Amino acid sequence: MQTKVLYLSDLKFNLETWKRELRFHFNEMDTFQEKLEEIAIREHEQKALIPLEVYQNRIMIEKNAISKLLHRIRNKMVNIHKADLNETMDGRLHNEQHSLKEDMRTYIKLHYELKEEMMDYFLEWL
């Protein structure tokens, strides 16, 4: 039972860390949206506005992905709180966690790629 308690505690720590990171990224996307709006207000040539629209769409897609990941994290937390400490460790929670872990890795990689692209765009047009 002690092993299971430690295992669940570790899973909970990972989920809480991911949740904080996702919330930060969500807020960061709001900040990037504000910067895009600043560029849109200025009278830039069409060359600046085409990528601006693409970035606005990508921000909406990213915020949607963040919301879905946060929802999955909430569901995992519910499963952890419902876990029977006397039940044998069958790996079910670990397998569920592994899938989310891979999805978080992919999300973080894509997030930082988008962030770098947007930062380059901001340097050019702000």
DSSP string, 28-48: HHHHHHHHHHHHHHS---HHH
- 8 A C-beta contact, residue 14 and residue 94: no
Structure-token match 């966690």, residue found: 97
Number of domains in the chain: 1
Instruction: Give residue-wise pLDDT tens across range 36-63.
Output: 999 999 877 888 899 999 999 999 999 9
Instruction: Give residue-wise pLDDT tens across range 21-31.
Output: 999 999 999 99
Whole domain around residue 43: which residue ranges? 2-125
What pLDDT sits at residue 93? 55
Q: Is the pLDDT of residue 72 over 90?
A: yes
